[in-house]
Structure 1
Amino acid sequence: MTENGITARDDGVFAVSGQVTFQTVPQFSGQTEKWLHSGNGRVTIDMQAVTLVDSAGLALMIEWLQLARTANREIGFTNIPGQMRDLIRVNGLEQVFQLD
């Protein structure tokens, strides 16, 4: 089982792992400081190790976009899981998350 969390990598990428759901979003929110105030350049959130998502996970991603904007940080998401891509499309947010 993959542990839920955010891990900083040397290349300025922050890897999200585990389940990003209604039950775990508070845990991820508590780890936002790891990347939000870690520097002043672009932040990349790698979601390759995410195993399960729901609408609360999408709400968290939107919150991260807003927090990054407030902190004058550019943010991008990579390796967005198919389940999350479906939620993004259903909610008409393809341009917000720059999905192809």
Structure 2
Amino acid sequence: MSENGFKARDNGVFEVSGQVTFQSVPQFLAHTDKWLQGGTGKVTIDMHGVTLADSAGLALLIEWLQLARSAQREIVFTHMPDQMRDLIRVNGLTQVFGLT
């Protein structure tokens, strides 16, 4: 099992890794200020290290979308795992996340 993590990289890119589930969402949500208050440009959440996601993880992404919109920041999710994409499709949110 990989450790859950949130790591800042250059140019507004943040890496999310580990499990994005009911148990870990509060941990990830606590990092919101790191990217939300960190500038005015686009924020990229790189999810290549996510090993497990559930509906609470999807709720976290929706919360981040709303917070970014409120702060007039663009947010993009990259390398989204198939499990998260499936949750987005099942819940009819493909347009919200720009999935085809």
State the distance in 2 between where 1:63 and 1:57 align: 10
Aligned to 1:23: 23
Give CA-to-partner distance per residue, 1:29-50, whole Å, 9 cap, x none. Answer: 1111111111100001010000
How many equivalent residue pairs? 100
Structure 1 residue 61, shift from structure 2 partner: 0.2
Q: State the shift of 1:2 in Å.
A: 2.2
1:96 partner SS: helix
Residue 10 (structure 1) shift: 1.2
Alignment of 1:1-100 (within 5 A): 1-100=1-100
Superposition CA RMSD, Å? 0.8
Shift of 1:15: 0.6
Amino acid aligned to 2:56 = A
Q: Which runs of 5+ in 2 are unaligned?
A: none
* Structure 1 counterpart of 2:5, one-letter code: G
CA separation in 2, counterparts of 1:20 and 1:39?
25
% identical aligned pairs = 73
- Structure 1 segments, 4+ long, off by >6 Å, are none
Corresponding letter in the other structure for 2:4: N
Amino acid at match of 1:57: G
C-alpha distance in 2 between matches for 1:11 and 1:51? 24
- Give, as a single letter, the amino acid of the residue that structure 2 aligns with 1:8: A
Long gaps (5+) in structure 1: none
TM-score (norm 1): 0.96
CA deviation map 1:47-70 (0-9, x unaligned): 000000000000000000000011
Give the alignment's TM-score, normalised by structure 2: 0.96
